[in-house]
Amino acid sequence: MPKIFKENKFVLFLANVITIIIWIFIVTAFKNIFLNDNLPFYLYKIADLIRFVPPIWLTYYLWILRKI
């Protein structure tokens, strides 16, 4: 972990937010490209899990496990 994250919590917060925004943008773009309207509902639920769970894991890792 770079020193700036240990010294400045605001920079860590901004890095976390920017990473989450980029992740959601990329996954949403792929979801719109590959999923069409005639699929079963559970595929949309799986796509939503893929969209939102990794940012939650990242936040959990950076703020709770690392205790930075």
68 contacts 9 by C-beta, under 8 angstroms = yes
**What DSSP character marks residue 22?**
H
- Rounded Cα distance between 7 and 54, Å, is 25
* The two three-digit tokens of residue 1, written as one number: 């972990």
pLDDT for position 56: 81
Domain spans of the chain? 3-65
CA angle 38, 27, 39 (to 5 degrees): 10
pLDDT along the chain (68 residues), means of 10: 71 85 87 78 80 82 69
